Amino acid sequence: MLQTIQKHRFLLEELVKRDFDRKYKGALLGAAWSVMNPLLTLLIMRVVFGYFFGGAIEHYTIYLFCGTVVFSFFSESASEGLMALVGNAHIFTRVNVPKYLFLLAKNAQTFINFLLTLLVFFLFCALDGVAFSWRFLLLLYPVGMLLLFNLGMGFILSALYVFFRDVQYLWGVVTQLLLYLSAVFYSVDSFPARVQSLFLINPLYLFIRYFRTIVLDGTIPSALFHLLMAFDALAVLALGIWIYKKFDTEFLYYV
């Protein structure tokens, strides 16, 4: 796969530029919306949920930002990846190119947006008096795992959307459900230990909790936590790649 990506590097770069330009074409603020969207989401959640949870959670704004920055990255990557095949059918039905390049381009675009938002996140941490330490470098691990997880979800969703267009509407409902199940704006500490352990089934909660553990608690998650996160990311990625390989030729008949 790496050799194929290198061979089609120019096409991949052009796809990323096209998707980035198309997304913000005609927008007054342009690419600034890549940062504004999660910030507006943060503001709304801070106003709505701050009254209920803000007093009980120290550095609640940063606590909330940890959740929104991770969830927004996942949500945008999944939504963009959903249309990766159908939206580029006019290209790969005429030219023989690896279909996963279109998904990689979508993920590259959303990853750039995420990095820009991450810079603002660190600025908020400094303004809120969060102590920076060398442990912040360990955030590279959940970011890398989240990138692989998003790519795997993109493989799965884009393939399903080719055969079942209802996936577009169902995924909107699933995304909303995941938002409430990922402890983005509340703490799970008040739940019984058995219920808290159930949250670990949700990969998004793992990514969010890792960010909060490093940034707010100043501690490093356990080795088991690292392994569980890697298992989720690699399992989803492997499933997505398998689906693409299995139905690669059939995509042409349904787009």
Q: In tens digits, what is the pLDDT along the chain, a chain of 255 residues?
A: 666 666 667 777 777 777 666 766 655 555 666 666 777 777 777 776 766 676 678 888 889 989 999 999 999 999 988 988 888 777 777 777 778 888 888 898 899 889 988 988 898 888 888 889 999 999 999 999 999 999 999 999 999 999 988 898 899 999 999 999 999 888 888 888 899 999 999 999 999 999 999 999 999 999 999 999 999 999 999 999 999 888 888 877 776
Rounded to whole angstroms, the Cα distance separating 59 from 69 reads 15
For the chain, the domains span 30-254
User: In this structure, are residues 70 and 204 in contact, taking their beta carbons and an 8 Å threshold?
Assistant: yes
User: In this structure, are residues 149 and 203 in contact, taking their beta carbons and an 8 Å threshold?
Assistant: yes
Rounded to whole angstroms, the Cα distance separating 209 from 199 reads 10
- Please, what sign has the CA dihedral across residues 55, 61, 67, 68? positive
- Please, what sign has the CA dihedral across residues 72, 108, 120, 23? negative
Rounded to whole angstroms, the Cα distance separating 215 from 132 reads 8
| Integer CA distances (angstroms), 66 to 29, 139, 193, 206, 237, in order | 24, 11, 23, 12, 24
| Unique residue bearing structure tokens 């808290």 | 196
User: In this structure, are residues 50 and 127 in contact, taking their beta carbons and an 8 Å threshold?
Assistant: no
Q: Which of 41, 109, 117 is nearest to 81 (CA)?
A: 109
pTM: 0.89
